[in-house]
Structure 1
Amino acid sequence: MPAVLVYARRSGRVLMIHRDARDQASDYHSGKWNGLGGKCEPDESPRQTAKRELREESGLDLAEESFRPLGVLQFPNFKAHKSEDWLAFVFTVDVPDAAQVLGGPEGSLHWIPDSDVPSLALWKGDALFLPYVLAQRPFIGTIWYEGEEVSRHWIQVLS
């Protein structure tokens, strides 16, 4: 399933969503901190998806060309029922200081200092690739999960 992750950046901070608004029983992201993003729609490029998802989840409507591709991640059999293979295109985008962020139905949005990101309740696999996102280092990788635990991973930094 193609999807995107968007890490919006502003003055040494990254916009993260705390998945605290949905019914906890039905949301396997409940309680976690994530980048923004979601599934690609039919006939939509990953960059178009990144722009749409950022707008839908935060109210930020930035120019499509301002979204920078940074990585590609594969998540085989990701979900409690081992039924979904995800391929996530990772983007970063700079957000002007004056731009206002709106909340959404999936959770509360917060500008987190880069240095505080590792201490958040992240998916364990996110902790493996987020240092590359924060350092703006291109990468590719695969992260395998068993439930909420990473069973193995491979991440390669691209030069």
Structure 2
Amino acid sequence: MKLATLCYIKKDGKTLMLHRTKKENDIHEGKWVGVGGKIEKGESPEECAVREVFEETGLKAEELKLRGLLTFPDFNNSEDWYGYLYVVEKFSGEIIESPEGDLKWVEDSKLFELDMWEGDELFMRWMMEDRMFSAKFVYDENEKMKDYSVTFYD
């Protein structure tokens, strides 16, 4: 079981997206994603989110808004992943060159033109509607979404 965070940084009708292009053997190669990563031993999800945002963008997240809980059973024929989904609207600092890929501010109206995971398209819409949710996304061995379920907490 893996625990992780995923953050979407927003400013002026744009979202900071990461085009995964730099890591070897990256399951996310070529996809556009938010920033985040695995929770380290002794770390809270919020501490992880702040650390990952800084490591991958150079920005200091000053306020996190929890928007969702994500479940990916047997992801990549490996193990179950559980993620905490955050929105960051208050931050400081300057963007760095990310070790994960290329960072780009994308107009919210153009987000769904990007190549991203099928599940990401769904939960990003819910996130943009300012809804709290818990969702499970099931992918097959070819990285295609087979099924999903969601519960909203409005």
Same fold? TM cut 0.5: yes
Partner of 2:67: 70
- Residue identity opposite 2:17 in structure 1: M
Q: Deviations over 1:65-88 (max 9, x none)?
A: x11111001000111xx1121000
Q: Can you give the 5+ residue segments of structure 2 that lack an aligned partner in the other structure?
A: none
TM-score, with normalisation over the residues of structure 1? Answer: 0.91
Partner of 2:27: 28
- Residue identity opposite 2:46 in structure 1: R
Matched, 1:13 2:14: yes
Q: What is the rounded CA distance, in whole Å, between the counterparts of 1:55 and 1:148 in structure 2?
A: 29
Residue 87 (structure 1) aligned to one of 73, 82, 85: 82
Q: Can you give the 5+ residue segments of structure 1 that lack an aligned partner in the other structure?
A: none
Where does structure 1 differ by over 6 angstroms across 4 or more consecutive aligned residues? none
Residue 132 (structure 1) aligned to one of 126, 134, 143: 126
Q: What is the rounded CA distance, in whole Å, between the counterparts of 2:108 and 2:115 in structure 1?
A: 14
**SS of residue paired to 1:101:** coil
TM-score, with normalisation over the residues of structure 2? Answer: 0.93
Q: Deviations over 1:114-159 (max 9, x none)?
A: 1111111001111111101222211111000003101100022220
Partner of 1:141: 135
- Residue identity opposite 2:23 in structure 1: R
**SS of residue paired to 1:44:** coil
> Offset of 1:90 from its aligned partner?
0.3
Larger proportion of strand: 2
- The question of whether the paired residues in 2 share the 8 Å contact of 1:124 and 1:148 is answered with no
Matched, 1:47 2:46: yes
Q: What is the rounded CA distance, in whole Å, between the counterparts of 1:95 and 1:32 in structure 2?
A: 25
- The question of whether the paired residues in 2 share the 8 Å contact of 1:129 and 1:155 is answered with no
Identity %: 36
**SS of residue paired to 1:55:** helix
Partner of 1:61: 60
Partner of 1:3: 4
CA RMSD of aligned residues (A): 1.3
Q: Deviations over 1:89-109 (max 9, x none)?
A: 00111145x742112111000
- Residue identity opposite 2:43 in structure 1: E
- Residue identity opposite 1:16 in structure 2: M
- The question of whether the paired residues in 1 share the 8 Å contact of 2:58 and 2:93 is answered with no
